[in-house]
Amino acid sequence: MAIFDGLKVLELARVPPAEMPGMFLADYGADVLKIETPEPHRTRDAQEERRAAFAFVNRNKRSMTLNMKAPAGQDVFRKLAAEADVIIEGFRPGVLKRLGAGHDDLKKLNPRLVYCSLSGFGQDGPYRDYPAHDMNYLSLAGVLNLIGEPDRKPVIPLNLVADYAGASLHGALGIVLALYAREKTGRGQLVDVSYLDTSVSLLAATPNMRFFFSDGLAPRRGEGFLGGSYPYYAIYETRDKKLLTIGCTEPWLWENFCKAIGRPDFVKHARKPDQFVRAANADEAKARQEIEALIKTRDRDEWYELLVKADVCVGKVYDVEEMVKDPQITHRQMIVEADHPKLGKVKQFGIAIKLSDTPGSVRRAAPMSGEQTEDVLKSLGMTAEAIADLRTQGVIE
């Protein structure tokens, strides 16, 4: 039995970060129903259908179309909400309230409802209604200015931080916390998740922020022991023009590395207590340059095998094509297959949280928009004639 069997979730989201919390719940058995905007004149081709099937964040879900601006659509949604355990929405604050589907409206209808809102700046505050994307949140959170080399503009990371590590994971955790609280109180509640808030929280947990409030030590881009300037935590180019990461922040691991490359004299450059916010000094930078030259004498994979055996924290900088073939990735089932009614087996990335007794599973590929609309409406007791009437009105697709 999956841990969330019987849990009914409604998802109103248009962007993947707001869709991912529902995927987590669906992977562990929840019935997640996506509510999507109907497009009566939509034309689908084989390429679109194939791409939809591979949509990672929508796997294990069902989909129906529903025009939430139409009164009839709002009536249908309220019927669904009355029986739901969780609603996940990713719109700007106030949008769903205007459609009669805000938290205050629905908690009267269903007091046990857990209502998760993911928005850029949260449901209150002076920035509440501003538009933004991942890079904007990172810049405001002080994260972006710390990524990259000191003499260049900050490096724009993939939208892994604010969007996914921030909003998606905090949203999923917030829902689980609220469901656990409901077991004690009998009541649902609002889970208010801000992309900016979660980015600040993630930054606060990093080592180079450890002494900001206590000692007033503010980190700067390219500085600190994780900034890339120190020889023990750096990216090195190999003979075959590939890259290798060395992450020996513990002195004993750095000693292993120095011995493995035949430079035990570099052990003196192990991490020191004063390096949380300062950049490498001239002696440390010179050691890094010498190691760079030495690393260029062998190919990446050759170094990797040597350093792994020497108990060194080392990583090959993979292209994606290499990553999906890595033996550790495949052994841990991080590349799996899901069933699709037309395309057969489609590849998916796997489930990262491995539960021993109630594991998650990838049961089916993502649905096409509106694939289960009629099934859902029939489950509400609607007749074929009533469903046809909704289609004529443009309430469903």
For 50-60, write each residue's pLDDT tens digit. 888 888 999 99
Q: What are the chain's domains?
A: 8-202+331-393 (3.40.50.10540), 233-317 (3.30.1540.10)
Choose the catalytic residue: 163, 170, 269, 340.
163
More confident residue, 130 or 343: 130
pLDDT at position 13 is 94
pLDDT at 234 over 80: yes
User: Stretch 33-37: mean pLDDT, rounded?
Assistant: 96
Average pLDDT of the residues of the chain? 94
pLDDT at 250 over 90: yes
How far apart (Å, rounded) are the C-alpha atoms in residues 87 and 232? 46
This prediction has a pTM of: 0.94
Name the region of 221 (left: φ>0; alpha: ψ -120 to 50; beta: rest): beta
pLDDT at 8 over 90: yes
pLDDT at 44 over 90: no
Confidence band, pLDDT 50/70/90 cuts, at residue 37: very high
Per residue in 201-221, pLDDT (tens digit) is 999 998 888 889 988 888 899
Choose the catalytic residue: 75, 129, 133, 240.
133
Q: What angle do CA 73, 77, 78 make, to 5 degrees?
A: 120
pLDDT at position 51 is 81
More confident residue, 55 or 9: 9
Find how far residue 168's CA is from the centre of its chain: 5
More confident residue, 40 or 251: 251
Q: Decide if 311 is catalytic.
A: no
Q: Decide if 163 is catalytic.
A: yes
Per residue in 146-186, pLDDT (tens digit) is 999 988 999 999 999 999 999 999 999 999 999 999 999 99
pLDDT at position 45 is 72
